[in-house]
Amino acid sequence: MRFFYAALVFFLILNFSFAQEKTEKEKLSMKVFKDSLDGKLDMSDFLINYHGFIPLANIITEPALGGIGVMVTPIFIEPNKYQEAGKYTPPNITAGGVGYSGNKSWGVGAMRIASLPKHHLKYRVGGGYGDVNMDFFRDFPVIGERQFAFNFNTTALFGNVLRQVGQSDLYLGVMYLYLHNKVKPQFGEVQLPDFVDNKALDNNLSSVGVNLQYDKRDNVFTPNKGLYVTSSFRVNAGWTGSDYDYRNWMVSALQYLQLTDKWVSGFRFEGNLQFGHAPFYFEPGVSLRGVPAARYQGDQTYLLETEQRYDLTQRWSLIGFVGAAKALPDKVSFSDADLVYNYGTGFRYLIARKFGVRTGIDVAWSNEDFGWYIVFGSAWNNRN
């Protein structure tokens, strides 16, 4: 706990130039990190009254990135100035980060998620650069599964703007993603495998698309109830500035049910379909805890997952989850595709009560792999 408080003070010094001037009575003390209701560790007042942030020192546990590493991410959360009585208005979120992992991958990035309720708009913008080492897997006749290592130098920019449809909870808008990729094989063979073409080693991907969102969750961080549905259709083509010609359609649904005061039941469905030829590293992949990124890829992916949360106290919760998915490569039917599964458990701590933010750790197993994850908010937010 002393280390945690020391980290808070360190990040506060970094943020000092952005803080508003306070009177002697209002100066920061350790009391601001305790909830006025129960006296427990809580970041709400620091976020609201001191324009502070949650200094998330996130351990990188993704198996595809070496299984160990660290990402330092200050997360600024501010209440939206426009609040409508009886309706939940999400806060504005600004985050930046820098990370390094055990397989010598590193990256920097920043993101802003905000809404303008008076104008019926919400938006998301961000960008980053990464030098990433990642393994990809392919099945071959006779020899079976082989592993291929690549180094990626990637620059990314993205954004979307959505407008509310009437007075409903439905939003419709446009989105854009730009990626410049330089890829180096790390497996020492003179001839590239069949799934890698020369264009995949140095290219620009530039996609434009439409995005639909329906959001009735009671909280965007760790929901207790409500439905969230999002769907997007993206186009990469010469006229968009892309070196590849393909399209993607994605649909995702999250349903949360508060069965009792202490029990929250969540369900997740996601489907991805790709039309046309994309570079191998942009084929849809199974995104489940415990499953390495890009281990199971195909032209189509489908997954179902459920997560159950039980609140032992107001602050502490237990988590259990299980899921199943399939990735369908070209010319492979749904019934013939391998079944990918995961299961695991974890815990949560209510770190910012006034925003409903819970954070904790999950451990997960899958067909052949194991992973553990530090979770901020819902584990599904980062995979959606």
pLDDT in tens, 312-322: 999 999 999 99
Q: What is the pLDDT of residue 275?
A: 94
Domain presence at residue 57? no
Domain presence at residue 169? yes
CA dist 79 and 92 (Å) reads 6
Which segments of the chain does DSSP mark as H helices, in order?
2-14, 44-49
Q: Summarize the confidence of residues 340-368 as an average pLDDT.
A: 94
Q: Summarize the confidence of residues 158-184 as an average pLDDT.
A: 94
**Does the pLDDT at position 66 exceed 80?**
no
pLDDT in tens, 31-49: 788 888 888 999 898 888 8
**Does the pLDDT at position 9 exceed 50?**
no
Q: Please give the tally of structural domains in the chain.
A: 1
**CATH classification of the domain holding 133:** 2.40.160.50
Q: What is the pLDDT of residue 19?
A: 43
**Assign residue 156 a region: left if phi > 0, alpha if psi is -120 to 50, beta otherwise?**
beta
pLDDT in tens, 213-230: 999 999 999 999 999 999
Using 50, 70 and 90 to split pLDDT, how confident is the model at 20?
A: very low
Domain presence at residue 10? no
Q: What is the pLDDT of residue 17?
A: 38
**Does the pLDDT at position 63 exceed 70?**
no
Domain presence at residue 376? yes
Q: What is the DSSP string of 238-276?
A: GGGT-SSEEEEEEEEEEEEEE-SSSEEEEEEEEEEEEEE
Going by the DSSP 8-state scheme, the letter that residue 350 receives in this structure is: E
Domain extent, residue 148, equals 74-383
**Any idea which of 8-12, 149-153, 377-381 has the lowest mean pLDDT?**
8-12
% of the chain exceeding 70 in pLDDT = 88
Q: What is the pLDDT of residue 248?
A: 96
